[in-house]
């Protein structure tokens, strides 16, 4: 990308011929009147989406045939850039002849694909994918109006990236399965956030409820919690996996062994000990302890007693444990 991005290109150079043609000569711009709809034995549906103050707005007119629920007339009016006008035109065309239920399955990706000159080259530059989303939204609005239901009822999944239509569930799965750590990886793997970039983080072209950065952070936190939870579960087993424990867990495990096997013996002789620290040194776990009471002056503290403590901890926790009195 470096060499290619030093001299900025025109976004217009990346428009397909279909986009150019539909911008210059939209085939379906116009309106349908109630009388015209009636003459077709159809009901007129009018749906508005967006606003001039947001930069794009579209009005869709459908004549829906009373007997068949088929869209027998489809026209649009659009305020927006070339891509918005071209995608509205193609969207309107895709609606023609379909039933309302069929039309509602048309997505902005279908619209973008229909605008391609050849199947492998995108019809618009990435940041312009956003403009085709409105064409998709207005269909849902029209269908909702026709059925007298709420627009959101057509959306069963939570879409995070509208340009690439990536759902929240997909994002969560892909981040987990591939152990993704950065936003760049998320964009590479899912394509979400690779177009108008609004969904990456706040401050973009459009405000969102939740952004990719939030999802990544939440999933990473959840993954971390799951790992800790697994580690915590293993400590309740007979043979805990000392190596995979966190430091706090290690200290607790050592304390537990000390409490159960070591301390009762020391206390009988009027002594005691406490764990001061655990440090990893190559493959070894150095457990620093401090003798208390009688132990602190006992001569076997550095020989027999020490050997007994170390052996007990090795048996119960890990062969690589070394005990260091300080």
Partner 1 sequence: MEVYLDNNATTKVDEKVFDEMKPFFCEVYGNPNSLHSFGSNTHKKMLEAIEYLYEGINADDEDDIVITANATESNNWVIKSTWIDHILGGDKKHIVTSEVEHPAITAACNFLEKQGVKVTYLNVNEEGVLDASAVEKAIKDDTALVSIMWANNETGKLFPIKEIGAICKEKDVPFHSDATQAIGKVEVDVQDVNVDMISFSAHKFHGPKGVGGLYIRKGVKLSPYMNGGEQMDGRRAGTVDVASMIGMGKAIHLATNTMALAYEINHVGMLRDKLERAILKLPDTIVIGGTQNRTPNTTLISIKGVEGESMLWDLNQNGIAASTGSACASEDLEANPVMNAFGSDSELAHTGIRFSLSRFNTEEQIDYAIEQITKAVERLRSISSSYAYTPKNHTSEL
Give the residue numbers annotated as catalytic, written as ranges: 54, 131
- Gap between the Cα atoms of 172 and 186, Å rounded: 10
Beta pairing class for 56-65 and 71-79: antiparallel
* Phi, psi dihedral angles at 77 (to 5 degrees): -130, 140
| CB of residue 288 to partner 1, shortest distance in Å | 43
Min separation Cβ 130 and partner 1, Å = 7
Question: In a 3-state reduction of DSSP, which class is residue 55?
Answer: coil
In contact, 64 and 70? CB cutoff 8 Å: yes
CB of 53 to partner 1, least distance (A): 5
Query: 137-148 burial by CB neighbour count: b if 16+ within 10 A, else e?
Result: bbbbbbbbbbee
Nearer to partner 1, 183 or 294 (CB): 183
Give the nearer residue to partner 1 in terms of CB position, either 142 or 289.
142
Q: How far is the CB of 160 from partner 1 (least distance, A)?
A: 18
For residue 179, count other CB atoms closer than 10 A to its CB. 9
DSSP per-residue codes, 63-90: EEETTT-BEEEEEEEEES-HHHHHHHHH
Q: Are 285 and 250 in contact (CB under 8 A)?
A: yes
What is the rounded distance in angstroms from the CA atom of residue 221 to the CA atom of residue 55?
37
Tokens representing 86 are 């071209």
- Per DSSP, helices labelled H in the chain are 2-5, 17-24, 34-39, 82-95, 100-103, 108-114, 129-147, 168-178, 183-190, 212-235, 247-257, 263-268, 304-316
DSSP notation for 137-173: HHHHHHHHHHHTS-GGGG--S-EEETTTTEEHHHHHH
Cβ-based nearer residue to partner 1, 50 or 240: 50
Separation between Cα atoms, residue 286 and residue 294, nearest integer Å = 23
For partner 1, the closer CB: 33 or 300: 33
Smallest distance from partner 1 to CB 291, Å: 52
Angle between helices 17-24 and 82-95 (to 10 degrees): 90
CA distance 226 to 172: 14
**Site of interaction with partner 1 (CB under 8 A):** 8, 11-12, 23-24, 26, 29, 31, 33-34, 44, 46, 48-59, 77-82, 84-85, 127, 130-131, 196-198, 204-205
**Contact status, residue 55 vs residue 80, Cβ threshold 8 Å:** yes
């Amino acid at each position: 990308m470096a060499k290619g991005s030093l001299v900025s290109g025109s976004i217009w150079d990346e428009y397909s011929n279909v986009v150019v043609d539909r911008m210059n000569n939209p085939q379906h711009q116009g309106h349908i009147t109630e009388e015209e709809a009636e003459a077709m034995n159809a009901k007129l549906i009018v749906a508005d989406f967006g606003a001039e103050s947001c930069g794009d707005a579209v009005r869709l007119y459908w004549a829906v045939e009373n007997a068949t629920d088929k869209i027998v007339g489809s026209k649009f009016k659009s305020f927006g850039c070339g891509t918005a006008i071209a995608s509205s035109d193609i969207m309107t065309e895709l609606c023609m002849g379909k039933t309302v239920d069929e039309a509602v399955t048309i997505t902005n990706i279908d619209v973008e694909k229909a605008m391609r000159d050849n199947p492998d080259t995108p019809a618009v530059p990435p940041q312009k994918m956003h403009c085709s989303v409105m064409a998709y939204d207005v269909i849902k609005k029209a269908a909702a109006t026709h059925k007298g239901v709420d627009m959101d009822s057509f959306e069963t999944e939570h879409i995070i990236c509208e340009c690439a239509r990536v759902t929240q569930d997909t994002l969560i799965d892909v981040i987990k399965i591939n152990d993704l750590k950065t936003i760049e990886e998320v964009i590479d793997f899912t394509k979400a956030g690779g177009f108008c970039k609004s969904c990456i983080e706040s401050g973009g072209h459009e405000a969102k409820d939740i952004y990719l950065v939030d999802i990544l952070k939440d999933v990473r936190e959840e993954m971390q919690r799951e790992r800790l939870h697994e580690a915590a579960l293993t400590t309740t087993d007979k043979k805990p996996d000392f190596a995979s424990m966190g430091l706090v867990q290690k200290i607790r495990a050592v304390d537990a062994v000390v409490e159960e096997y070591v301390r009762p013996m020391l206390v009988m002789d009027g002594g005691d000990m406490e764990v001061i620290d655990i440090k990893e040194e190559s493959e070894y776990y150095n457990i620093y302890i401090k003798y208390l009471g009688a132990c602190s002056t006992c001569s076997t503290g550095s020989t027999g007693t020490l050997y007994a403590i170390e052996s007990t901890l090795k048996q119960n926790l890990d062969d690589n444990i070394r005990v260091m009195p300080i």
